[in-house]
Structure 1
């Protein structure tokens, strides 16, 4: 499944069941969960796993596979040093051994090009080089997720991966945040500079020219880097969100729902990205002007936002479907086609980045089902008198068009386009 969520759970909190049930209601198959080093190793070489044992078991009971994020050092270890890297590798090995068969995907640190890491790219390369093999030593089925970088700093990634054997890792992950820009738009450098400075220092990309690329252009650039290094690895987006807050970088709750769907569909349409993990399941607080708080599909009181409904409907329609083609793909209109071979059914996802455009869609004899991002339904019958097609307006909020295999859509040009 390509659909994941950042659980952002404290393993000791009493309501784990409630949160994993919410993930199940969303149709999520994957959750990214911190396995916080300083919580587990509270004295040198002494690991306390009990709280995480319960979390892992609760995830298993709800059919949710975990991606474990191994990060955040205790005060007595510095992972940017050789000795600290060895201590981290022992911790990673212990986690992989304990949870083998229940947690088989492990992420090596979080945003090491940002404020969560004090070392250099070379220091992180050393950490990855020792931790990846340590995990595989005790679990041959384990997969190692590398980089997990803030934004998409390809120059930084190159400095790391040139020093690491491709055999040490299986997947490359990044966090292509771009608030409040839409996923189809370039991200302005000044906005990124101000955004990052407002929440933690040190995550500013070193390659400024990359910043003004669109999300898909950044993804293509990262893919080319991996090809040059003879390391063609799958890409995962392990964090992405649009914050529904009153900060200048926030968006409305309705727009959060729209951009969530648009990003996921673009990621699947790229053919390069295997999984996307939204940050996060639940708001991290209640401060309306704080971009770190209002990130969830649920509010802090666990009431669902519009984005919760949009996510659940997206997974219901697209889970298990295969990408077929990009019928129309930019710059202002996007129509992506998915297919269900068992049902012999196509699903078109369509939107326009400008307020209104029109698509003409062929109408099969079985008719068409139209849905908005929340699942509101409309049925259109086949009408051969009207040449077997139907004209539908599309705007910034995506629509789903479901019908028999062979659906086609053409853009109806508007004056001024």
Structure 2
């Protein structure tokens, strides 16, 4: 009798273990270990709703894996309780994404004058209605490993009017997150898509974290725009990681949910086409070095033809859809680093020089290197070998070396593929 009981207990433990493993597998986040490590799995771009199917195909050709786009509440629900995803173009867009093996990064926003007076949600009625809208969207586009971002830049008055409120936003996150997770078990919920990553935004984030919101989300999304070069982000990420660690024991990654450089930054900060391509490439590389699993470049295409207008000149394509150098730069990066993850940063005696080592599953190595200073040559110690030098825009040169290699450091990253 006793032996039978022990066998019965062992069987129960075994079945419980199997069931638990099944649940974990079923609810696995799209930010799996592989996604967290492989740089090209996290490369994305922001689009506007007026993109065409050809745009989506071209985005895939560039090597982007994620597409970030608004699902605008007031566009979808023009009559109370009725959600129109078909005529608003979202069904077509979602189909194009699936056809091209692209993952959706959906932003659930903004307000709706059927329920709220301003561009914010400050009433229980508005919160309940927005939650129903979010539930309908998550159910309709479930099973794709989508990212679901709650709002966009709620710490910025333009997007949370008349006054940004971490308290009201926290209430929205707590209402929406469990509903979205229930409707789309393959998805991941992120917030708050905070505007800026600086002293002020860190204060706002800490206030939000004090509302216990980190227990409701899977990642913290930030928009670290700046006039300075991409490398300046490193200290800000360190501060944010430390802040997150003060308010949760969960492993909460940071997503660079929107970041780009306009060629018309300001009268004092103007970029050439080549400089924008440099910054784009370095942004993705630095984010990989900092352990940021997903990076979204803003924007896919210039919004207009005025070359002096900042907002119109973030695109990797010109307004007429012709590719910029930035398009060639991202295509080169994704082609070269497909399947590779960041391994380590190699020390350089020259301040401003960056040498990042990437490896793939076969332990093959690629070095991405550049400088934030002026052009110069530097001798790097390296085991005897041969390989290819590939420029930021894809030019290839075969090389061999002894115990060191003489590399030319430019503001535009180059790749040394070690064979």
Hey, what's the Cα distance between the residues in 2 that align with 1:380 and 1:262? 24
Hey, what's the Cα distance between the residues in 2 that align with 1:46 and 1:21? 31
Quote how far apart the aligned CAs of 1:140 are: 2.5
Aligned 8 A contact 1:364 1:403 in 2: no
Hey, what's the Cα distance between the residues in 2 that align with 1:238 and 1:310? 20
2:410 pairs with 1:395: yes
- Please, which of 123, 131, 149 is the counterpart of residue 194 of structure 2? 149
The TM-score with structure 1 as length reference comes to: 0.83
* Residue number in structure 1 paired with 2:216: 168
Quote how far apart the aligned CAs of 1:67 are: 0.8
2:43 pairs with 1:3: yes
Aligned 8 A contact 1:250 1:291 in 2: no
Quote how far apart the aligned CAs of 1:366 are: 4.6
Hey, what's the Cα distance between the residues in 2 that align with 1:81 and 1:328? 54
1:6-405 correspondence to structure 2 within 5 Å = 6-10=46-50, 16-50=52-86, 51-78=89-116, 79-102=121-144, 104-114=146-156, 115-118=158-161, 119-152=164-197, 153-179=201-227, 181-184=228-231, 214-230=232-248, 231-245=250-264, 247-248=266-267, 249-271=269-291, 273-328=292-347, 331-342=351-362, 344-362=363-381, 366-382=385-401, 384=402, 388-404=403-419
Farther off after superposition, 307-316 or 238-247: 238-247
Give the match's secondary structure for 2:230: coil
Hey, what's the Cα distance between the residues in 2 that align with 1:102 and 1:348? 33
Hey, what's the Cα distance between the residues in 1 that align with 2:387 and 2:247? 46
Quote how far apart the aligned CAs of 1:165 are: 4.2
Hey, what's the Cα distance between the residues in 2 that align with 1:399 and 1:246? 25
Query: Which consecutive unaligned segments of at least 5 residues does structure 1 have?
Result: 185-213, 405-417
Hey, what's the Cα distance between the residues in 1 that align with 2:394 and 2:72? 38
Quote how far apart the aligned CAs of 1:60 are: 0.2
Quote how far apart the aligned CAs of 1:74 are: 1.9
Give the match's secondary structure for 2:49: coil
Quote how far apart the aligned CAs of 1:65 are: 0.5
Quote how far apart the aligned CAs of 1:80 are: 2.5
Q: Tell me how many residue pairs correspond in the alignment.
A: 364
Q: Deviations over 1:15-48 (max 9, x none)?
A: x211111111111111111111111011222111
Hey, what's the Cα distance between the residues in 2 that align with 1:31 and 1:401? 29
Hey, what's the Cα distance between the residues in 2 that align with 1:157 and 1:73? 21
Q: Deviations over 1:330-372 (max 9, x none)?
A: 8411110001232x42111111111033332356555131111
Farther off after superposition, 161-170 or 311-320: 161-170
Farther off after superposition, 165-174 or 104-113: 165-174
Query: Which consecutive unaligned segments of at least 5 residues does structure 2 have?
Result: 1-40
Give the match's secondary structure for 1:60: helix
Hey, what's the Cα distance between the residues in 2 that align with 1:376 and 1:140? 43
Aligned 8 A contact 1:363 1:381 in 2: no
Farther off after superposition, 359-368 or 133-142: 359-368
Q: Deviations over 1:107-147 (max 9, x none)?
A: 00001111211241111111111010111222233210111
| Aligned alpha-carbon RMSD (Å) | 1.7
Quote how far apart the aligned CAs of 1:104 are: 2.9
Hey, what's the Cα distance between the residues in 2 that align with 1:46 and 1:164? 32
The TM-score with structure 2 as length reference comes to: 0.83
Hey, what's the Cα distance between the residues in 1 that align with 2:356 and 2:149? 31
Higher-helix-fraction structure: 2
Hey, what's the Cα distance between the residues in 2 that align with 1:174 and 1:80? 23
Distance verdict in 2 for CA 1:224–1:331, change over 3 Å: farther
The runs of at least 4 aligned residues of structure 1 exceeding 6 Å deviation read: none
Q: Deviations over 1:373-398 (max 9, x none)?
A: 0011111124x5xxx32212212121
* Residue number in structure 2 paired with 1:199: none
Q: Deviations over 1:233-259 (max 9, x none)?
A: 111101111112374243111000011
